[in-house]
């Protein structure tokens, strides 16, 4: 094992898959000569050339469509968005073409493509650059949706995504590209659709995904100082969802709190709550807790941004309400 940053784990995953399969290529804004907006593709242009590391203009609808067309004809594109906020420009291409053409062609056409980039809030980027829209893609049949948080999971899941014959939406985070963690020297894959228990516990299950795994682990550590044992489930994949891992944990703890960066209304956390209560209601000893971003566009002000986003204090307060059964 060695400790590497998430940006390097992603670069290694893309590089290894491009060496393994000549059909794989990377396209996006600044992925080539600038080495990637977040340096995830550093050195790849020199290694693979401009035909396989393609600098695209600021036209997400255009290069997304080109990527989908290339996938339909047998290539395996990786389409990078500078942030997933900009993927909304290409939403018709992703939801109405990539996700649906396999069904509409009666299984004759596959779209082996990965849409990847930074999702969620960063520091003081304002309302238009801080959307957490994982549920928007997870809502859509035909797409697989990954939202991992650690270097190990990022590398292993990106390699699996590139090899998958279906369109995969792969969420990262601007705030964690420099985060370090252990990654094996040898090749490995992390299977899509398998959650991970990041911390064992007995009193309550905390469910989260993407960069909020770090906040949730902080919450669990703080709760432990008060004698509360929290189990932390990192979903890693939102579609397909590993419901069994969730159920197994709640059957052990009998209480649950979901921590998400999305807004509450029509959120993925609300969907998780429905699944848990409809499938294993009798295992619950208290209503499910849910911590979300407050219902307002993200302000530019740093103090106000901290109020909007889930905080350790809000999470701990919600967990204690669940433990007291008084939500």
State the catalytic residues: 60, 129
d(C-alpha 251, C-alpha 182), whole Å: 31
Sheet containing 204-208: give its strands across: 196-199, 230-234, 204-208, 256-263, 289-293
Residue 195 CB: number of other CB atoms within 10 A? Answer: 20
- How far does the chain reach from its first CA to its final CA, in angstroms? 43
Task: Supply 20's token pair.
Answer: 């393994």
Residue 284 CB: number of other CB atoms within 10 A? Answer: 17
Nearest to 21 by CA among 50, 48, 43, 54: 48
Nearest to 72 by CA among 105, 28, 50, 48: 105
DSSP alpha helices (H): ranges in the chain?
A: 6-20, 44-48, 60-72, 91-92, 101-104, 134-138, 151-163, 212-224, 243-253, 268-280, 302-308, 312-324
Task: Supply 327's token pair.
Answer: 């939500």
Q: What angle do CA 207, 231, 7 make, to 5 degrees?
A: 60
* Strand ranges (E), 65-143: 76-81, 114-118
Block residue for tokens 């993927």? 87
């Amino acid at each position: 094992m060695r400790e590497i940053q998430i940006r390097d784990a992603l670069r290694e995953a893309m590089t290894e898959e491009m060496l393994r399969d000549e059909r794989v290529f990377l396209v996006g804004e600044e992925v080539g000569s600038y080495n990637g907006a977040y340096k995830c593709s550093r050195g790849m242009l020199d290694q693979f050339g401009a035909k396989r590391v393609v600098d695209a203009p600021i036209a997400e609808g255009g290069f997304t469509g080109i990527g989908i067309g290339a996938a339909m004809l047998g290539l395996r594109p990786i389409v990078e968005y500078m942030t997933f906020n900009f993927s909304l420009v290409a939403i018709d291409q992703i939801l109405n073409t990539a996700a649906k053409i396999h069904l509409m062609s009666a299984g004759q056409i596959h779209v082996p493509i990965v849409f990847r980039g930074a999702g969620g809030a960063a520091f003081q980027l304002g309302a238009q650059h801080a959307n957490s829209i994982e549920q928007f893609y997870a809502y859509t049949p035909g797409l697989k949706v990954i939202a991992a948080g650690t270097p190990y999971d990022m590398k292993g899941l990106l390699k699996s995504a590139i090899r998958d014959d279906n369109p995969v939406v792969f969420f990262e985070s601007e705030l964690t590209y420099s985060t370090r963690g252990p990654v094996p020297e040898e090749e490995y894959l992390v299977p899509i659709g398998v959650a991970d228990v990041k911390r064992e516990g007995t009193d309550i299950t905390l469910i989260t995904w993407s960069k909020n795994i770090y906040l949730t682990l902080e919450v669990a550590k703080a709760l432990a100082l008060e004698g509360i044992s929290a189990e932390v489930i990192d979903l890693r994949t939102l579609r397909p969802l590993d419901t069994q891992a969730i159920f197994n944990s709640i059957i052990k703890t009998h209480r649950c709190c979901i921590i998400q960066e999305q807004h509450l209304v029509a959120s993925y956390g609300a969907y998780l709550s429905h699944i848990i209560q409809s499938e294993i209601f009798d295992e619950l000893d208290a209503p499910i807790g849910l911590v979300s971003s407050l219902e307002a566009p993200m302000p530019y002000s740093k103090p106000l941004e901290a109020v909007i986003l889930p905080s350790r204090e809000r999470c701990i307060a919600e967990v204690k309400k669940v433990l007291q059964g008084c939500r």
